[in-house]
A and B are shown apart, each in its own frame.
Chain A
Amino acid sequence: MNVYFKEYFDFKTFLTVLALVVIGLISVYSATHAAGASVNFHRQIIWAAMGFLGMALVLFVPRRLLQDAALPLYILSLLTLVFVLGKGRTIAGSTSWIGLGVIGGQPSELVKLTTVLALAAYLSKPTTETESTKGLITTSVLLMLPVILVILQPDAGTALVFCAMFPAILYWAGASVFTALALVSPFAVAAAALVSTTGFIIAVVAVLVLLLILRRDFFTSTVVFSTSVTIGIAAQYLYSRLPLYQQKRIATFLAPDMDPLGAGYNALQAKVAIGSGGLFGRGFLQGTQTQLRFIPAQWTDFIFCVPGEEFGFIGAIVVLGLFTFLLLRGVRIASIVKNRFSSLTAIGITSIFGIHVIVNIGMSLGLMPVIGIPLPFLSYGGSSIITSLVMVGILLNCYSARKEY
């Protein structure tokens, strides 16, 4: 048994995740404690337990079955997204939640996983040529369907996760950096153009510099560049032609946590919370920023502030270290598994975790704009923690079958 476990079960990943979940529960307890929302803590325990159960289940699903089920699961999850748009409940301006009696959830969390599985399944087919026109169009369609659906909710953060995961998985599948860039740059430039003209200029310059570094042929580079610029200008032009209320809606979409107390209030309070933690932190349940609810969304999107404030630099570094180790471990698993589908699934899952971590912690540290996506394993929320743990289960599954072709 022991030998079997060592061989087939990746303790390193599992223990890292376990540690993160425990820290997450402590943080949710602290964040909800003074706010009189301890019921959330109890729910989170149940969800974590459900997540571990899900992890255990997917651990034993044969890889073959997973690969075959990828497309049907993808389509099913897209249908739930459509259903959400029609019947879902609106929370904080986004219609992303469906309730099925006592069980409810945000399908968009799950769609991240099914999209990764679908992309991995397609890209691992022997007939697929990643960089062919057909390959790029198919993968783009597989990506854009869920992206359009979450944008309609509207949920900018999740759409961003999809878009950022895409070039990573394509690159892993064998596409060149240039291809990845060519696919992403129009969206990046358009988004930047909607934020501000300065953002637009910076994005255009960045694309230009990258193209020069990559030294592709002049024609292709020019096409990529001019497409990006055209789309960027068009986006800005269309934006300016929209009625004011729609402009406002887009602005809110791009900066969803914009606060009436003034721009940057949330980001500032988060920085204050983390900064006031110092080396050892202010002590469990002693952080005034957390306990007195100065941090917005403190048990969801800004959960990183809680260990940052109450356990200080040491606590924050531990969390950061655990995530870094998990991500490195994910890449390692992706690179050692022999099966291409498993490898692509592993890198897709790792990329999703990576984007969440970079955007979420970056936001709490004031290095990223305020974009509302949860921190895996730590943030309060059933869909997030269950999906995350199930994804870890698939990662562990890939590891245990790493020697199978």
Chain B
Amino acid sequence: MTEESQLVTRSKAFYITIGGVALVFALRLVQLQLLSEARYGKKAEENSIRAVVREPIRGCMFDRNGKLMVDSRASYTVTITPSEFKESALPLLSSILRLDTATIRERIRRGRQYSIFAPARIRRDAEFRTLALIEENRDRLPGVSYQVETRRSYRTPARASHLFGYAREISDRQLAEAGEYYKPGDLIGAAGLEAKYESALRGEKGFEYQLVNAVGQIVGPYNEGRSDIPPKEGYDIYLSLDAGLQEFAETLMADKRGAIVALDPRNGEVLAIVSKPDYDLANFSGVTPPEIWDSLNAHPEKPLFNRATMTRYPPGSTFKMVLATAALQEKIIDTNWRITCHAYFRFGNRTFKCHTQKGHGSVNVVEAIEKSCNVFFYNLMLKTGLTFWSKYGALYGFGSPTGIDIGEETAGLLPSEEYFDKVYGKGKWTRGYLVSLAIGQGEVGASPLQMASYAMVIANKGTVYQPHVVRAIYNKRVGKTDTLLHRSRTLPVSPEVWDVVRQGMVLVVNGTGGTGRSARVPGIEIAGKTGTAQNPHGKDHAWFIGFAPFEDPRIAVCILVENAGFGGTQAAPLAGKLIEKYLKGESEPGKPPRQKLEASETSSAPLSSVRSTLR
């Protein structure tokens, strides 16, 4: 091989190597830039664009007359961006926020889990003074900032704590269940309507896109803010509640333990719902100090417990209409069937007493209801039997939840043959068990809400409306009101039967021997039934259910006063006052919410303007 041709070979080797590498690189460029551009482009955006959450304004709540009950106002939340925060600033921040360093550390830790570049909420509802101090010490507090958020404000004297409920910071457990939308530090409805209507009330978070560099510093707005998504305000909810009545009902129950539920018997709307003792929702707005939590949880009277929907006490004599309805409708008796009451009733070797010493004498079903004669109903129970009693109890809705739109409610307890068979064993229970059921004692339990619903059914002669607090949801984004639909069903009970039962109930309040005469109100014909639930742990619980006006009922109520004694003396007067307030009051029920929509816009406007000026 000559030197010349060797050189040619070697040149070729170099040319081929260079060309080969260039080809591989060019193909790689095709692969990266032409075939995978979308993937890498997205990755580049994720790298450099940080979405900063803008909190939506929670929806408002209006009462049945369009009166604003709950809205939101601006509050300031102090935040820390973990990537920028310096540990050395902790003592200063701790003294400014008046929070101990351990709490701040824990909150930074939670925020860090989500993103070290995203501001983590450290303290909600900071005072203006705190913000001023942060501004003053800005240089010494790297990564500390604040954002405008909202907190609940309650515009009427009515507390309605258990009804409205509250939103609180999402827990780790909820976070795992609640899905993508929520991030640590977010508020989530935790009780009452705030929880039940969370998805409507909360709105949708907005995002501001900001450009960040590799160390996470904000360089400026992305795309001059054109890509930002503004937060969407939560929907307003329109309640059937009457703010005035609610407030009045709360004052009636002041210093008492128990519950009041008032329904519109024409449609199942809740007019008032009270559970006492209650708590001040103002303490729950934004950040709830742990001391308040602890004291509420440890309180012997359990103020967090919603007695209106969650208690399950024996209904006592108020339950007698269940048996009366069953016996009359099944034609086991009619109004001519009489029992002579000698003030006691013997069954086997046991004696059951009536509540008077003398006895009621000869009574038919109407008089038995009026006078609440136990002996009559003991006899009637044995004659009618458990099966019919259970059937009609269930038709009224006992033993199952009413379906009210407040998250928590008890199903109550309505025994049946199957129930007794299950609990005591087949054939191991006797008819003696039935005797006390006749007068609503023993193994039967209902919530005040169920009792109010029961009163509603008798008032409207047989229709069970699903009790509900929210009538309509106003969608601010499309300017449309969605009226909610609710279930209803009618009992297979003839009008004649209703007339008999209702006749008994109107005499309870208006008859000479009625047990509920203290509920009487001049000018209003009220029907009702008293009840006294025996309580093995203390004084009896007082019940009253009723409705008015008798001919065309517009309100059905249930009053429960715990450990108060007789229903006729303790609960009935409250019912009278409540009904009087509602029927004689200025409030005009039944107005559709649409007419009052302007109120919602004007109420949230100041907040929006605050937000935009502070940004």
Residues of A within 8 A of B (CB): 34, 168, 171-172, 174, 269, 271-279, 288-289, 292-294, 308-309, 312-313, 316-317, 320-321, 323-324, 327-328, 331-332, 334-335, 347, 350, 354, 358, 361-362, 365-367
Nearest CB of B to A352, in Å: 13
For the complex, what is the distance from the CA of A23 to the CA of B7, rounded to whole Å? 34
Could you say which of B18, B24, B28, B30 contacts A354, with CB atoms under 8 Å apart? B18
Could you say which of A273, A277, A313, A328 contacts B18, with CB atoms under 8 Å apart? A328
Asked if B298 is an interface residue, CB under 8 A from chain A, the answer is no
Grouping DSSP codes into helix (H, G, I), strand (E, B) and loop, the B interface class, with mixed when no group exceeds half, is helix
For the complex, what is the distance from the CA of A362 to the CA of B40, rounded to whole Å? 18
For B44, give the chain A residue with the smallest CB separation.
Answer: A276
Contacts of A347 in B (CB 8 A): 14
For B7, give the chain A residue with the smallest CB separation.
Answer: A335
Contacts of B8 in A (CB 8 A): 335
Inter-chain contact B213/A292, CB cutoff 8 Å: yes
Pick from A276, A289, A361 the residue with the most CB of B within 10 Å.
A276
19 contacts between A and B (CB under 8 A): A272-B43, A274-B40, A275-B44, A278-B37, A279-B33, A288-B44, A288-B47, A289-B47, A292-B47, A294-B214, A308-B29, A317-B26, A317-B29, A320-B22, A331-B14, A332-B11, A350-B14, A361-B25, A367-B28
Could you say which of B11, B43, B44 contacts A331, with CB atoms under 8 Å apart? B11
Inter-chain contact A274/B32, CB cutoff 8 Å: yes
Q: Report if A365-B25 is in contact (Cβ < 8 Å); known contacts: A278-B41, A331-B14.
A: yes
Inter-chain contact B24/A367, CB cutoff 8 Å: yes
For the complex, what is the distance from the CA of A361 to the CA of B23, rounded to whole Å? 13
Pick from B11, B14, B22, B212 the residue with the most CB of A within 10 Å.
B14
Grouping DSSP codes into helix (H, G, I), strand (E, B) and loop, the A interface class, with mixed when no group exceeds half, is helix
For the complex, what is the distance from the CA of A274 to the CA of B25, rounded to whole Å? 12
Nearest CB of B to A86, in Å: 36
Q: Report if A275-B25 is in contact (Cβ < 8 Å); known contacts: A172-B10, A331-B18.
A: no
Inter-chain contact A279/B214, CB cutoff 8 Å: no
Nearest CB of B to A343, in Å: 8
Inter-chain contact A313/B29, CB cutoff 8 Å: yes
For B222, give the chain A residue with the smallest CB separation.
Answer: A288
Inter-chain contact B212/A274, CB cutoff 8 Å: no
Pick from B22, B32, B45 the residue with the most CB of A within 10 Å.
B32
Could you say which of B15, B49, B215 contacts A328, with CB atoms under 8 Å apart? B15
Asked if B48 is an interface residue, CB under 8 A from chain A, the answer is yes
Asked if B612 is an interface residue, CB under 8 A from chain A, the answer is no
For A168, give the chain B residue with the smallest CB separation.
Answer: B14
Asked if B19 is an interface residue, CB under 8 A from chain A, the answer is yes
Contacts of B29 in A (CB 8 A): 274, 308, 313, 316-317, 320, 365
Could you say which of B6, B24, B33, B45 contacts A278, with CB atoms under 8 Å apart? B33
Q: Other than the known A308-B29, A312-B33, A331-B15, what 7 A-B pairs have Cβ atoms closer than 8 Å?
A: A171-B10, A275-B39, A313-B29, A313-B33, A331-B14, A358-B21, A365-B28
Inter-chain contact A288/B45, CB cutoff 8 Å: yes
For B219, give the chain A residue with the smallest CB separation.
Answer: A292
Q: Report if A289-B22 is in contact (Cβ < 8 Å); known contacts: A274-B29, A335-B7, A335-B11.
A: no
For B42, give the chain A residue with the smallest CB separation.
Answer: A276
Nearest CB of A to B38, in Å: 9
The contact string, 1 if C-beta is below 8 Å from chain A, for chain B 200-223, is: 000000000001111100010000
Could you say which of A288, A308, A358 contacts B48, with CB atoms under 8 Å apart? A288
Contacts of A334 in B (CB 8 A): 11
Inter-chain contact B15/A365, CB cutoff 8 Å: no
Contacts of A316 in B (CB 8 A): 29, 33
Contacts of A292 in B (CB 8 A): 47-48, 211-214, 219
Pick from A34, A174, A331, A362 the residue with the most CB of B within 10 Å.
A331
Contacting A at CB under 8 A, from B446-476, are none
For the complex, what is the distance from the CA of A74 to the CA of B30, rounded to whole Å? 42
Contacts of A168 in B (CB 8 A): 14
Could you say which of B25, B40, B47, B212 contacts A320, with CB atoms under 8 Å apart? B25
Inter-chain contact A365/B22, CB cutoff 8 Å: no
For A367, give the chain B residue with the smallest CB separation.
Answer: B28
Contacts of A317 in B (CB 8 A): 26, 29
Contacts of B387 in A (CB 8 A): none
Contacts of B215 in A (CB 8 A): 293
Could you say which of A273, A321, A366 contacts B44, with CB atoms under 8 Å apart? A273
Contacts of B21 in A (CB 8 A): 358
Contacts of B48 in A (CB 8 A): 288-289, 292, 294
Inter-chain contact A271/B25, CB cutoff 8 Å: no
Inter-chain contact B37/A276, CB cutoff 8 Å: yes
Inter-chain contact B22/A324, CB cutoff 8 Å: yes
For the complex, what is the distance from the CA of A272 to the CA of B45, rounded to whole Å? 10
For the complex, what is the distance from the CA of A5 to the CA of B17, rounded to whole Å? 31
The contact string, 1 if C-beta is below 8 Å from chain A, for chain B 368-384, is: 00000000000000000
Inter-chain contact B19/A324, CB cutoff 8 Å: yes
Nearest CB of A to B27, in Å: 10
Inter-chain contact B214/A293, CB cutoff 8 Å: yes
Contacts of A309 in B (CB 8 A): 44
Contacting A at CB under 8 A, from B18-72, are 18-19, 21-22, 24-26, 28-30, 32-34, 36-37, 39-41, 43-45, 47-49
Top 7 A-B residue pairs of the complex, sorted by shortest distance between their CB atoms: A275-B40, A276-B44, A288-B48, A278-B37, A324-B22, A292-B213, A313-B33
Nearest CB of A to B19, in Å: 7
Nearest CB of A to B22, in Å: 4
Nearest CB of A to B400, in Å: 57
For the complex, what is the distance from the CA of A334 to the CA of B25, rounded to whole Å? 24
Contacts of B6 in A (CB 8 A): 174
Inter-chain contact A313/B47, CB cutoff 8 Å: no
For the complex, what is the distance from the CA of A332 to the CA of B45, rounded to whole Å? 44
For the complex, what is the distance from the CA of A34 to the CA of B212, rounded to whole Å? 12
Q: Report if A308-B47 is in contact (Cβ < 8 Å); known contacts: A275-B39, A275-B40, A328-B15.
A: no
Contacts of B28 in A (CB 8 A): 365-367
Nearest CB of B to A341, in Å: 15
Inter-chain contact B40/A276, CB cutoff 8 Å: yes
For the complex, what is the distance from the CA of A272 to the CA of B44, rounded to whole Å? 6
Contacts of A321 in B (CB 8 A): 22
Contacts of B15 in A (CB 8 A): 328, 331
Q: Report if A293-B33 is in contact (Cβ < 8 Å); known contacts: A171-B10, A276-B44.
A: no
For B40, give the chain A residue with the smallest CB separation.
Answer: A275
Contacts of A294 in B (CB 8 A): 44, 47-48, 213-214
For the complex, what is the distance from the CA of A361 to the CA of B36, rounded to whole Å? 18
For the complex, what is the distance from the CA of A203 to the CA of B25, rounded to whole Å? 23
Q: Report if A289-B44 is in contact (Cβ < 8 Å); known contacts: A171-B10, A275-B37, A313-B34.
A: yes
For B6, give the chain A residue with the smallest CB separation.
Answer: A174
Contacts of B33 in A (CB 8 A): 274-275, 277-279, 308, 312-313, 316
